[in-house]
Structure 1
Amino acid sequence: DLSYMIVNSIKGMISSMLNNRLNEITQTENPPFVYASAYDGMFFAAKTKDAFTGVVICNEEDIKESIRTLLREIHRAAQFGFTESEYARVKADYLRSIESAYNERDKNKNESYVNSYVRHFLDNEPIPGIENTYTLMNQILPNLPLEAINETMGQLISDKNQALALFGPEKEGLVFPTKNEIVSLLTEVANEELTPYEDTVSDEPLLSTLPQGGSILSETKDDTWEATVLKLNNGVTVVIKDTDFKADEIQMKGVSLGGTSLFPNSEIINIKVLDEVISVGGLGNFSKTDLEKVLAGKLASVSPYIGDKTEGLMGYCSPKDFETLMQLTYLTFTQQRKDVEAFNSYKKRAEAMLKNQEMHPSIALVDSIQEAIYMGHPRAMRLKAEQIEHIDYDKILDLYNDRFKDASDFTFFFVGNADLEFVKPLIAQYLGALPSINREETFKDNQMNTRQGFYENTFIKKQETPKATVFIYYNGDCPYTLKNNIQLSILDQILNIIYTEKVREEEGGTYGVGVSGRLQKHPEEKFALQISFDTDPNKKQDLTKIIFNELDKLIAEGPSEENLQKVKEFMQKKHKENLKENSYWLGVMDEHHFSDVNMHQDYEKTLQEITAKDIQNFAALLFNQGNRIEVTMVSPEKDN
């Protein structure tokens, strides 16, 4: 149905433009809300009805103003429409997304087809296919006038059939507006004299002056990964693996050792929010909002991070936007922008979210688990609302610049449709121009050790529904090898199968038992495995007994051949699928760089050779070290 496709695309672009305006308000110094969005689609209370819906997460002290601001922007768009520049950007993004989907039309997974068939069956959505969508939209959208968009926006908003639902916690001192106040608010905004939205745009390029660039000192082949390795003049190493898995994708990761481990514990508050605070300022001459505008129609993104042991960047692009990716990377290293207004906005929103978080009973459980495992280590502590005022923006910028002022020890991985001869000059120009002071460094061990021996903590926390949450944590020594990583994955999955059968199906005591484990390479080779479930307080003791009995049985007898083969077959199938994913190759190359362990080579052979006896011995290695932590939060029946 062509008319449906056109109307649906119009509504989608309307939502995008309106949400961009709301996001701009979020970035102002004193935003009335934490988050706001609007869309036209299914009515939240009835799947058979459509509705234009606005959603706002309010600051506690600004509930009415939060609602008022959301309604005001909806009415402003309905009354005056959108601007030509807004429409040009959203149209470029929409057409670019269709182009990307068209370029990947031969790589679609079964899931995407299934989802289309389900929507067609349940909601009668048409299934034109990407070939028809690409052809039709490229013919129609360039000729679709802004007047049609604005006319549709005006038709979506009515002063009839309005519903406003307000949800919030029962909290001392928190006052909600009354029904009469809300009705008055709706009327006031509808009658308010508004002015048209003014779109600030810039035709300035990302980089006003292009860097002189550097040079490629050497180019070699890495047969292990079937990749090309470039050494640049400033010490940067670049690894490029050209694949044909996706026509419109190049994934990037740049990484260097060090991370926040090199910062003192006295900076823990700044460390906790570092990535989030850095992201609010934008790059170069562009605020975060303006940067999104200037990147309209391009498929390129870069996100820096500073983790515990490494700092780096994650990014992606389409092949034709590779230079934009390189420019964003260059700016990320050299021109992080300071925006005090956006920072103050972040602080206000973060404080509001953390205050709301404190109301949730699960926070008491999280705090108790962290204390049980890490025994009060400052780097394991959760950020709290009262700490927000102590965030030091200038110090965060200093910490960030310290980690990114030296690219000489960075290794960049590129995986995807990366034509070597096309990307090499751009890599030399932008990555070769990154600052370099030739530091030699690695991460620091801050002694964030886990509790040894047996520890138990059971506490009571009142909730609306009686419930017991049980958390069991094992930890200890374990060599970091390919085989042990595979064995831990097998053990996870076998335990999930066993507990689904014994605890959920036979006992009916829980919706499910979660089991997850991990191995770590640095600073010491260790393992951690956790088991958790929710249940009726009266069943807690019996179900916990089953958990431990099944572990003892696994150690004594090993897994059944049926369960082992089931898991191995799934892992084999998943591995073959992974081999066709750019993200898999990026991950295994990065892992090898960090841990010097090749998680790809001999994977299938190692997997197939693992026996039930291997898993039995591995389980004994993990669970017989005597390090077990149990934290249980119980919410009893309410007194009548």
Structure 2
Amino acid sequence: MKNALRFILGFAIIFGGSADALAAPSAAGVERTQPWNAETSDLEPDASIIYGRLPNGLRYAIRPNHRPQNQVLVRMTIDFGSAAEAEDEQGLAHFIEHMAFNGSTNVPEGEMVKMLERLGLSFGADTNASTGYTQTQYKLDLPKADPRLIERALFLMRETAREISFDPAAVDRERGVILAEKSARENFGFQSARAANNLFYPNSFYATRYPIGTTEVIQSASAETMRALYRAYYRPDRIKIIVVGPVDPIAIERELAAKFADWQVDAPPLGVLDQCTLDTARGLSAQSFVHPEISESISVQQFLQDKKRPDTLNRTMIELKMSIANAIISRRMARRSREEDIPFLGASVNFNFGLCDQYAAIGYGVAGKDGSWRSLLAFTEQTVRQAVEYGFEESEIAEQIKRLDAQYENAAKDEGTESSGAIANALVTLDEDVYNSDKYRQILWRQIRPFMTKAAINAEFAFWFRQMERPQIFLTSKQGASIAADEIVAAYAVSRGAPIAAPMTRAAVRFAYIDFGPAGAVIADKTIADLGIRTIRFANGVLLNIKKTDFEDNRIRYSLRIDGGQLHFGKENAVLASLMSATYVSGGLKAHDVEDLRSILAGTTVSPAFGVADRYFGATGAVAPADLERQLQVMAAYTTNPGYSENALRLFRRPLPELYARLKATPASALAIAMSKIMTNDDPRFALAPLETIQAADFAMLKSTLGDALRQNRLEIALVGDVDEDAAIAAVARSFAALPTRADVGKDYSAQLQPAWSAQRGNFDIPHNGEANQLAWRRVWTTTGDHDQKTTQSMDLLARVTTLRLTDELREKLGATYGVSANSDMSNLYLQRGTFSVATAGDPKDIATIEATVDQVISALVKSPIDSDLFERARKPVLESYADWKKKNNTWLGVVAETQTNPDRLKRFRESETNFASITVNDLWELAKQYLDKPAEFTFRALPDEMVSAGEKSAE
């Protein structure tokens, strides 16, 4: 064993790949360096990433990448977060992050976001920031690799890193925004997390330094206090800049040197933030958190004294063995929950190194039905202990090995077209690890794989979880009184004393659905030349559309559409659409329970996918080319041989009482449920069905109503991506095209397409059971459906304009909300239905301000055309997005999915950019006058229950 490990370790070291980057020429004023954390690792860093450092200590990583083809992602991280805050500074790291967008030495307050919007970035989507315990991150997603745009992005990062103004008036204005954010987040879920952290991590920053901070500090901290903290921690030796996209690394280095090299800090380096102390000798203890709206759950955790474990081969092997073990336990629990009527809703096992640099964490969590915590605790504890005592079966391990084989192989094949976003995010969250290439990880896995034996995995899991003798147990429940710690500890002791039987061995099975009859014949094969879409028709009526691209290696995006969907069920059977969406796949196939099916599919990228959309049955997804035929076989089997397992029906019904009991638990949920009921006259196609109605739905009703729709209705398949066209056509011919003849025209559902809005109009106060300082608010104007592409695009742009105006007024000037948005929804199915709405959240005390401000903004939009600057700020990000729009497989799948059944979609696709570019300020003004120059038909206010009197409550 030692000799083999030494061979693997030597293999890893021989692969040295960073020398090329070090030897390559760089810009003046920067130094190329070894990859981050390479000095502590024996694993091979990815040689495609260029690492460097400025003389002042600022570090950078640059990764040339062309997926998407034009977009450049810029990230800046600062080793600073709430863990560094003193008692009277709680929340200031987050406050400083907010102030980055509120004025700097060279950018006036309110201009940074507008400047970015003029450059084609959309605030929130492309421009954002976040603060954690130990890191603050700023991100800019540039729409194109324009040198001027990149220069501006790095200029703004420099302004953020060193030049924030902290104008006292701006600080005061931002207090309201942060308090609104704090109010929106601190519901019973957040309170529960605080209580759990107090139990698990007492006296550590995890329990005492939440990034959102305290109300007292947010309300009172001075601009000067923030500036001092900013100056102390925002310093070049704590900053990393990450740039990913189609860039010239030397040009990026030159800009980094120009923007940051003159920044010098004389103060000595500061220490690390991610260290803390936990008492691993603590005895068994427990705590409960009770709230009338919270779900029943238990978390059991124990922390073990460990050591600092850098990213090495040894750590990788331990983590792989533990991940295999944890996956097997999760499968065991899922199978038992299907086969037995237990109050289980989900569980997971956790194992982690590196907590506070010196601890390992082991444990498990479980959720279930209300009042079931004792059985939940016993079920999970005994399942984990069973694995410790008896280990795992060869067949279980072999299944997980197959999954890992496929995972590493497909990742290596995909590597050439990995998205810039995935690369940037991995570098941002790297911490003390090394960024490896997927090809290297696959090679390393092949070397490690022989050591993933039953004996090794059993021993590793037992070594760690046998130490779980004195855990801390945290319980959440909606029971009326706090559950005593002694009661929880006693229940745990009873479970620990129960004898454990060995797990049952399950026999492997083969997939039963590979022969659907003689292959179907192709009777039509054409190509749409300007779009490169190949359209095929088989003798039995099956339609196939193929678009071959090189945007993603080793990936085929697929779509299956069978006419019907929600329209097939109609108003009278609408509840069956919900039943089918939730249970059809989990009902398995006649020959295979869904758990057996998942085992059969282990080692592939195939998923048992099938569901219900508004106008079709089917599925969308992605699969490796080698697995395409099996994916088609699985979907074909679901159309011909569904299992309708009663286990699936039981699992569907199990959480419903708890789900319905919590529909008013938050303002957003209460508003959404009530709004759909009120606006549609409680039409079951759009509103949530009563609990008794959905519980009464069963598979006999579903089968009767479905009839032969899945076998007979018109069917269209789309394949986009790395497609071998001949192989794909042959695979469809052997599966769907081998089945009986289908309809060649769509069903007529026109009678269902005229639903009316409710005649009940006006203001509706909706009670919620959440926090007393939380409000959800929405105002709705009715419009029309998606008859004309340019009109639909114009209404979307009007919504973007409205969002920008309301953000300026409600968030930036008044601090009355953390976020506000406008939205236009013009249905392309129900062509008489459309809405334009404004939604926000906040504190009920600010209702009058919110409503008055919305009225003022809408009135201004109706009164006169918007100014050209606002128009460009709303329009530019959309225009810029077209640069990569046609270079994404998901974009093409939306078109190719209905190439033969909806040719109008092709016309719209061709004209989309031209139509959008032709929209004028006056177009928006005319639409504002047409649809918004009237009182809104509906206004919904989700308020604390005690604020809504019994006579005024709506849609209880």
Q: Is the CA contact 1:303–1:314 (under 8 Å) kept in the aligned structure 2?
A: yes
Q: Which amino acid aligns with 1:472?
A: R
* Pair 1:577 & 2:888 matched: no
Question: CA offsets per residue over residues 493-536 of structure 1, 9 Å max, x none?
Answer: 22222222110111111111132222212332542122111222
* Unpaired runs of at least 5, structure 2: 1-311, 949-956
1:40 to 348, 351, 367: 351
2:548 is the alignment partner of 1:233: no
Residue aligned with 1:245, SS: coil
Equivalence for 2:506: 200
Match for residue 163 of structure 1?
Answer: 472
1:88 pairs, out of 388, 393, 398, with 398
**Residues 196-345 of structure 1 mapped to structure 2, 5 A cutoff:** 196-207=502-513, 209-345=515-651
Higher deviation after alignment, 604-613 or 286-295: 604-613
Matches of residues 371-390 of structure 1 in structure 2 within 5 Å? 371-390=677-696
| 1:141 paired residue number | 449
Please give the secondary structure, in 2, of the residue aligned with 1:523: coil
Equivalent pairs counted in the alignment come to 632
Q: Which one of the candidate residues 795, 810, 817 is aligned to 1:488? A: 795
Moved more, 257-266 or 495-504: 257-266
Q: Is the 8 A contact 2:587 2:648 kept in 1?
A: yes
Partner in structure 2 of residue 628 of structure 1 = 937
Q: Which has the larger radius of gyration?
A: 2
C-alpha separation in 2, matches of 1:427 and 1:18: 37
Matches of 2:935 and 2:617, distance apart in 1: 35
Determine if contact 1:499/1:513 at 8 Å carries over to the other structure.
yes
Q: Does 1:24 find its partner at 2:331? A: no
* TM-score, length basis structure 1: 0.92
Matches within 5 A, 1:206-605: 206-207=512-513, 209-357=515-663, 359=665, 362-407=668-713, 409-438=714-743, 440=745, 441-446=747-752, 447-451=754-758, 454-461=761-768, 463-477=770-784, 480-590=787-897, 593-594=901-902, 596-597=904-905, 598-605=907-914
1:279-301 deviations in Å (ceiling 9; x for gaps): 22112411010000000001122
What is the aligned partner in structure 2 of residue 111 from structure 1? 421
Counterpart Cα distance in 1 of 2:830 and 2:770: 40
Query: Once structures 1 and 2 are overlaid, which stretch shifts more, 417-426 or 551-560?
Result: 551-560
Match of 2:439 in 1: 131
1:161-202, CA deviations, whole angstroms, 9 ceiling, x for partnerless residues?
41111112355xxx7753223212222332322122224232
Pairwise CA distance, 1:459: 4.5
Deviations 1:392-422 (A, max 9, x none): 2112123334320214x21111111111111
Tell me, yes or no, if the aligned pair for 2:560 and 2:897 is still in contact at 8 Å. no
Question: What is the alpha-carbon distance in structure 2 between the residues aligned to residue 113 and residue 294 of structure 1?
Answer: 32
Instruction: Select 1:153's aligned residue among 461, 466, 476.
Output: 461
Deviation at 1:356, TM superposition (A): 4.1
Q: Distance in 1 between matches of 2:710 and 2:409?
A: 35
Deviates most, 94-103 or 304-313: 304-313
3-state secondary structure, aligned to 1:370: helix
2:609 matched to 1:609? Answer: no
Return the letter of the residue paired with 1:24: R
8 Å CA contact 1:10, 1:149 repeated in 2: yes
Query: What residue identity is the alignment partner of 1:40?
Result: F
Aligned with 1:98 (options 400, 408, 421) = 408
1:495–1:15: structure 2 CA closer, same or farther, 3 Å change rule? farther
1:567 to partner: Cα distance: 3.2
Amino acid at match of 1:562: D
Residues 255, 274 of structure 1: alpha-carbon distance in 2 compared, 3 angstrom cutoff: same
CA distance change for structure 1 residues 463 and 546 in 2, over 3 Å: closer, same or farther? same
Q: C-alpha displacement at 1:428, in angstroms?
A: 1.0
Unaligned runs of 5+ in 1: none
Deviation per CA, 1:256-296: give whole Å up to 9, x if none.
Answer: 33333233544233333222121221124110100000000
- Counterpart amino acid of 1:428? A
Give, in whole Å, the separation in 1 of the partners of 2:542 and 2:515: 22
Q: Deviations over 1:123-165 (max 9, x none)?
A: x122222232121112212443222211121122123441111
Task: Report which stretch shifted further, 493-502 or 480-489.
Answer: 480-489
1:348-403 residue CA offsets vs partner (Å, 9 max, x unmatched): 23344333446556554233212331122232331343334411211212333432
- Larger CA deviation: 380-389 vs 578-587: 380-389
RMSD over aligned Cα atoms: 2.7
Q: Per-residue displacement from partner, 1:202-226 (whole Å, max 9, x unpaired)?
A: 2323326452231111211122531
Q: Give 1:452 deviation, angstroms.
A: 6.0
| Structure 2 length-normalised TM | 0.62
Structure 1 counterpart of 2:871, one-letter code: L
Secondary structure at 2:518 match in 1: coil
Which range is displaced more, 288-297 or 308-317?
308-317
Instruction: Rate the CA distance shift 1:451–1:637 in 2: closer, same or farther, 3 A.
Output: closer
Q: Which moved further from structure 2: 246-255 or 571-580?
A: 571-580
SS of aligned partner of 1:471: strand
Secondary structure of the residue aligned to 1:141 is: helix
- The 2-side partners of 1:416 and 1:116 are apart by 25
Alignment partners' CA distance in 2, 1:43 and 1:406? 56
Instruction: Map Cα deviations across residues 556-585 of structure 1 (whole Å, 9 max, x no partner).
Output: 233332233233332233233332221110
**1:79-127 C-alpha deviation (Å, 9 max, x unpaired):** 2221111111111112211221211112122222222222223xx1222
Greater mean deviation of Cα atoms: 599-608 or 260-269 = 260-269
CA distance in 1, matches of 2:765, 2:903: 37
Alpha-carbon separation, structure 1, partners of 2:518 and 2:357: 57
Deviates more, 1:453-462 or 1:135-144: 453-462
For the residue of structure 2 that corresponds to 1:588, the secondary structure is helix
Distance change (3 Å), C-alpha of 1:502 and 1:361: closer
Structure with more helix by fraction? 1
Identical counterparts, % of pairs: 17
Counterpart secondary structure, 1:505: helix
Name the structure 2 match of 1:5.
Answer: 316
**Aligned partners of 1:513, 1:625: CA distance in 2, in Å?**
21
In structure 1, distance between residues paired with 2:514 and 2:894: 34
* Counterpart residue type for residue 448 of structure 2: I
